[in-house]
Structures are given as structure tokens and as C-alpha cells.
Structure 1
Amino acid sequence: DTVQYREKRALPRHVRRAMGLRITAAIGASRCIVNDDVDVARAIGARGVHLGPQDRSPQEVRQLWPEVRCIGATANNLERAIHAVSQGVDYLGVGPVYPTSSKARPAPVLGLEGLRRIVAAVDCPVIAIGGIDSRNVGEVLATGAWGVAVLSCVVAAADPRAAAARMRERIDRCLAGGLAV
């Protein structure tokens, strides 16, 4: 399990660092990926950084932070996925697979077939994102995706800790072949 620290508000860097440190104190730095901000990721000792299309290239990140253990990128179509992999990312966040409310202007929905095409075309782990919950995670994993990233189904739940535990259990059962998709 990994937590991606994704702070999109325009906060001062010292505030973002403090928030990142709080997360790493709770879960351990080896399980934390920071979205977009290499300086914060490096300062808090995170496992790595997740890059968007407007961020630094993986090569620049590796020059700035030679000890980085993991660099990911977002891809919402096959062309972008292939390009990101050619740039040397370690994993891809691919989606949205389903409609999502966690972004103000989400990319067009890929669907299961779009996800399946990307999984087949790249040689790195694919983490499916967007609209994934315990009802559809099995069919998402059946595409060959290496894992899933979830937000709304956990943070919008009355008991987020219990929702996360249920999702983890469902994923484990799907990966073990214990549930029909």
C-alpha cells in the first residue's frame, strides 16, 4: 500500500513539507509518493514523485534527486502512456477508467477497453485511477492493471478507515482469484 500526497492548493512550500512530514510520520516515508513537487518529496524522504504532463521530466528528477526510488506519471491515453514510459517512468497512473468527481476537469473516460490497451502496450506497472470502488475493482484488475488508486470511495465514506480496509480486502480477494469479476 502506498499513499500519494496530492496537494493542489497554492500553499507555501513549508506548509506542504509539514503536511508531507505528517503523512510520512503516520505511514512511513517508504510508502509515500508526492504528487508534482520533487523538492517536497526529497525533503520529506518520500519514496518518490508522481509527475503530471507539465512537471519536470523523469531525467531531470533523477539528476536532481539521484536517490529517488520511484517516479510515476499520469497518462489518459495510449500516446501519452507510451511517451511517459519512453521517458523512463517506473509506473503509470492511467485513467480515468470511470467517471470521477475528484477532479474539476477530468480527462475523457478511458473505460475498461482503453485501460486494457494501455496495459498491453507498456512494460511497466499500470495503476488504474478514476471512479474505482469496491463494486468495480475486480473488473479493473481483470484488465491486467497492476493496481488501483482510489480516493472518493474512501474519503467520502462515513468511516474512511473501514472503507479503506474493505477496499484492501476486496483487492486482495480479487488478486487471489477468490471473487468473480
Structure 2
Amino acid sequence: MSPYTLYLVTDEHLSLNALVEVVEQAIAGGVTMVQLREKHHDVRAFIERANAIHPICQAAQVPLIINDRVDVALAVGADGVHLGQSDMPATYARRLLGPNKLLGLSIESWKQLEEAKQLPIDYIGLSAIYPTPTKLDTQHHWGLDGLAKALQAYPKPIVAIGGIRADNLANVASTGVQGIALVSALCAADSPKQAAQSLLREILSARE
């Protein structure tokens, strides 16, 4: 199974204890990668939260990806970094991270997708597939047709993100996309473990 298959992106509004519980449960349910996203915490809080969940990820051999911050990833020994378009350029991030860390980049347009082909990254996050309240500044929604075309155009793994829920998950997975990233479907679930089990079953079933 691809490490990108069921990709948890954490909700920065979770308390530290809730974050730990969500990550523990989601991994127990089958999540294959975790991205710690912290847009508004200071760097010390970011490091504290990363250190709290890193051992859980390590024990399960699930990669921990840090959103935006190369320095935080290096400080805690995380498995990689996911960059946005306004973050450190990927070439600089790769130089700092070395060749063995995972490096992802959010892609929001066809122009960015073409540029990504020349960058030293491991995967792209295609955003947003559908409209989503967690990202209000999105200019482009790929939809299923756009996702399918992107899969043909881009040679490395793609993680689909944005507005993906239990009721449209199968349609997204059936495109053959290598990964599906989810926030609220896991972080806001009554049981993240049961949610992850159900979501993973649906993804694998839709790929058959």
C-alpha cells in the first residue's frame, strides 16, 4: 500500500491532548501518513505538538510530515515537510532536508503543476478537489476531471485534498489517485479509529 493512501492532516484547533488522541486512534485505524499543520501557533508550540505525536508515528512506522516549517521538521527529526506555494522554495528545502526526507508541495493551478515537474519533490498535494471551508482562498477547484487529467500529466504521486468527505470519497479514490488527504473526516469524528477503518476500506474497494 502506498504511504500516501490515507493521509491525515491535523486540525490546528485541537488541544494537545485531543491531537494526541486523534493521531493515536487514526493510526490504529489505518492512517498511512500524518501531516502536522499549525498555521497560527508559535514555533515552540509547534515543536511541542510535533514531539507529542512523533513517537506514536515512529512506533507505527507512519511518516510524520511537518507543514511549512523545515526548521521544525529538522528540530524534531520528522520524516518530511509539506510546502505551500508561499513557503520556502522547494530547492532550498531539499538542500536543507537532504535527499532522504519526504518533500511535498501544494499545487493549485496547471501552471504550478507544470513547474513542479522540475522540482526536487516526492509528491504533490492537489488542492482543492472540491470547495472546502478549511481553505477559503482557493482559486481553482480541480474536480474529478481535473484530478484525472493531473494524474495523466504528473509522473510522481498525487495526494488529493479539499472537500473530500465520506460521501464523495469513493469517486475520488476510483480515479486511482495515490493518496487522499482528510482533515475533518478524521479529526472531527466521534471515533477517529473507526472513521479511518471505514475510509480506508472504501478507498481500497474503490481502487479494485
Scaled by the length of structure 1, the TM-score of the pair is: 0.89
2:160 to 104, 107, 128: 128
Q: What are the residue-to-residue correspondences of 1:1-181 with 2, within 5 Å?
A: 1-9=32-40, 11-28=41-58, 31-66=63-98, 68-175=100-207, 177=208
Does the Cα contact within 8 Å between 1:76 and 1:107 map onto a contact in 2?
A: yes
Residues 63-106 of structure 1, C-alpha deviation per residue, up to 9 Å, x if partnerless? 22225421100012221112123112110000211121222333
Does the Cα contact within 8 Å between 1:154 and 1:160 map onto a contact in 2?
A: yes
Alpha-carbon offset, residue 143 of structure 1: 2.1
Other structure's SS at 2:120 match: coil
Moved over 4 A (4+): none
Number of equivalences:
175
Alpha-carbon offset, residue 159 of structure 1: 2.2
Alpha-carbon distance change, 134 to 148 in structure 1, aligned in 2, over 3 angstroms: same
Does the Cα contact within 8 Å between 1:126 and 1:145 map onto a contact in 2?
A: yes
Structure 1 unaligned spans of 5+ = none
Other structure's SS at 1:174 match: helix
Residues 31-82 of structure 1, C-alpha deviation per residue, up to 9 Å, x if partnerless? 1010100000111111110011111122211222225421100012221112
Q: Distance in 2 between matches of 1:165 and 1:45?
A: 28
Aligned AA (2:196) = A
Q: Distance in 2 between matches of 1:138 and 1:102?
A: 21
Aligned AA (2:165) = D
Q: Distance in 2 between matches of 1:160 and 1:144?
A: 24
Other structure's SS at 1:49 match: strand
Structure 2 unaligned spans of 5+ = 1-31
Residues 96-142 of structure 1, C-alpha deviation per residue, up to 9 Å, x if partnerless? 11121222333332111111111111110000111112322222122
Identity %: 33
The answer to which structure, 1 or 2, has the higher relative contact order (CA under 8 A, 6+ apart) is: 2
Does the Cα contact within 8 Å between 1:30 and 1:46 map onto a contact in 2?
A: no
